[in-house]
Amino acid sequence: MHSVLIVDDDDFVLKSLARLLRSQDLAISYYHDPLEALIQCTTREFDLIISDQRMPGMLGTEFFRQIEGYFPQTRRILISGYSDFNDVVGAFNDDTIHKFVLKPWNNVQLKTLVAEELQLKDEGAASASQLIDMPGERQAAVDSFHGIVTQDPVMLDQLSLVSKAAKTDAPIFISGETGTGKEMVARAVHLESKRRDKQFVALNCANLTETLLESQLFGHKKGAFTGADQDQGGVIMEAEGGTLFLDEVVEIPMSLQAKLLRVLQEREYTPIGETKARKFDVKVLSAAALNLETAVLEGKFREDLRFRLEVIPISLPSLRDRGVDIRLLFDYCLAGQFERHGLRMVPIEDAVYEKIQTYSWPGNVRELVNVCTYIAALAGADCEEITLTDLPVALNTYAGIPEPAAQRVNVSASSAAAADDEAPQINRAGLEEAIEAFDGHREKIAAHFGISRMTLWRKMKKYGLA
C-alpha cells in the first residue's frame, strides 16, 4: 500500500484531501504543522507528499527542500489557494516540486494526478536519465539528467563530466551566469554520488555579514556573540556524510576565506565560541557567476583557496549560447506550465520562435521559465494559439516588434529612423568584428558602440546579421 503525507494548516482542507485519497486505498498521514511533519519525515519515507504553500512557520517550497535532502525519491505535489506562480518557479526549476495544484482543485483530476505520481515513484522517476515525451505536435525524446533538459553538445559534455566527477570526493567548482542552473547541477552531482542517501545542504554566501556567514558555516555556541541566544549547528554539521554546496563563494570575505581554507585542509572546524575542533566528512561543491581565476586576479579571492575548491571545474554555458536548446526548453517548459494550470497545450506561431531565438536571455533558463509561467498564467481556457501578443512586453520591445495594442507606445517610423541617424556610424565590418569580440552578447555590443539594444538590432537587421 502506498503511503501519502498531507500537510496543510487548514483543517477543512486537510480532512477533505485525506477523505478523497483514502478512497484510492492509500495509507494517509496528515499534519497541520509543517515542523511536526518534517520531524516525522526524518525517520520515515513517504511515497508521496502533498503540501500547502503558505503555512505558519514554513513555506511549502521550503518544506519540500528539506524533505528532498532526506528522501529525494519521494514525489512532491504543492497545492495553494494563491496565484503566486513566481514563488514556485524556482522550486520547479531545481526539481524540488513535481506538480503544482491550484485551489480549489478538481477531485477527479487530483486523484488522477496522485495515481500518476505514485506510478512514477514505483518506476524510479528520479533515475539518472529518463525520457520525457513532449505533448502536441512538438513530440520528441528529450534527455533529462536529474531535471536538466538539454540537447546542446557543450552542455551534454559538461553533464558527462558531472557524472564522472560525482563518483569521487574531489571538490567541484561550477561557474556560470545567474540563472544557468548551477544549483541544479550541484544537486545532480549529489544524486550521482555515493552520498545520495544523505543530506544535500546549500548555502548562498552572498549578502551575509562576516559573523553571520561564519555562524552559518561552522555554527556557534549560545552567547558567542550578540543575538546568539541558543546553540546552533552550521551547514557543515548539517551536511555530515552528504554534500555541501557553497553558492556565490567569491562573496566570502577574505579573512573568512583563510579560515575556510584551513578547515578544508584539516577536515575539521570549530564552532564560534568553542575551543575543541570537530572532524567532518562532506563532499564540497562551490559555485559563482564570476570565474575564480578572474576573482583571484581582481584580488577578491585567495589563490590557495581557489586550488582547494576548483579541483574539477564545471562551466555552464549561457542560454544564448545554447541555441539548439532555446526552442527545446521553451516548448518543454511551456507545455509543463500549461499542464500545471490545467490547460490544454495549443500551437505556437512561428513569429514567437523567431522572437525567442533573437532574444539575449540575460536571465538565462530562469528567465525562460518565468516567461513560460507568464504566458500560461494569462492564457486562459479559450486560448487557441500562442502569438507575439502573449509574450511579456520586455521580450517584444527587445527585438523591436511592436507591443500589443493595449500596451503600445505611439512611435512613428520616422522617429525610429531618426534614432538610427543619431547613432554612431557603424559599418558591417565593424559590427561583425564586435560580434566576434563579444561572442554575440548583444548587451555588451550595444554598450561598446554606446547605443541601445533596439538600435543595435536594427543595425544588425540592416546588414543581415540579426
- Per-residue pLDDT of 111-162, as tens digits, reads 888 998 898 888 764 333 333 333 333 333 334 688 888 888 888 889 889 9
Q: Residue 87: its pLDDT value, please?
A: 58
Least Cα distance to 19 among 111, 83, 133 occurs for 111
Measured CA to CA, the distance from residue 121 to residue 371 in angstroms comes to: 29
pLDDT in tens, 368-405: 999 999 999 888 888 889 999 999 887 877 644 333 33
Radius of gyration, CA atoms only, the chain: 25
Least Cα distance to 456 among 439, 437, 435 occurs for 435
Least Cα distance to 50 among 2, 119, 98, 107 occurs for 98
* Statement: residue 296 has pLDDT above 50: yes
CB 189 within 8 A of CB 243: yes
CATH fold label, 153-315: Rossmann fold (3.40.50)
CA triple 339-343-346, angle to 5 deg? 100
* Statement: residue 417 has pLDDT above 60: no
Average pLDDT over the chain, rounded to whole? 81
Sign of CA dihedral 309, 232, 200, 77: negative
Q: Residue 6: its pLDDT value, please?
A: 94
Give me the mean pLDDT over the 204-210 stretch. 86
pLDDT in tens, 55-70: 887 888 888 888 877 7
pLDDT in tens, 179-188: 999 999 999 9
Q: Residue 181: its pLDDT value, please?
A: 93
Q: How would residue 243 be classed by pLDDT, with cut points 50, 70 and 90?
A: very high
47-51, 229-233, 234-238: the lowest-pLDDT one:
229-233
CB 311 within 8 A of CB 352: no
At residue 143, the 3 state secondary structure works out as: strand
Give me the mean pLDDT over the 234-254 stretch. 94
Measured CA to CA, the distance from residue 253 to residue 259 in angstroms comes to: 10
DSSP string, 278-293: EE---EEEEEESS-HH
* Counts for the chain of helices (H) and strands (E), in that order: 20, 17
Q: How would residue 453 be classed by pLDDT, with cut points 50, 70 and 90?
A: low
- Residue count of the chain: 466
Least Cα distance to 75 among 31, 19, 119, 131 occurs for 119
Least Cα distance to 214 among 154, 161, 274, 267 occurs for 274
Q: Residue 330: its pLDDT value, please?
A: 92
- Domain 3-126 matching CATH 3.30.565.10: the answer reads no
Give me the mean pLDDT over the 274-289 stretch. 93
Q: Residue 228: its pLDDT value, please?
A: 66
Q: How would residue 345 be classed by pLDDT, with cut points 50, 70 and 90?
A: confident
Q: Residue 138: its pLDDT value, please?
A: 33
Q: Residue 217: its pLDDT value, please?
A: 92
At residue 50, the 3 state secondary structure works out as: strand
CATH of domain 321-404: 1.10.8.60
Q: Torsion over CA of 296, 297, 298 and 300, rounded to 10 degrees?
A: 10
Q: Provide the terminal-to-terminal Cα distance of the chain, rounded to the nearest Å.
A: 58
All cell numbers assigned to 405? 495594442
Q: How would residue 409 be classed by pLDDT, with cut points 50, 70 and 90?
A: very low
At residue 84, the 3 state secondary structure works out as: coil
Question: Of all residues in the chain, what percent carry a pLDDT higher than 70?
Answer: 82
Q: Residue 177: its pLDDT value, please?
A: 92
Cell 512613428 locates to: 412
CB 227 within 8 A of CB 272: no
Q: How would residue 49 be classed by pLDDT, with cut points 50, 70 and 90?
A: very high
* Statement: residue 266 has pLDDT above 80: yes
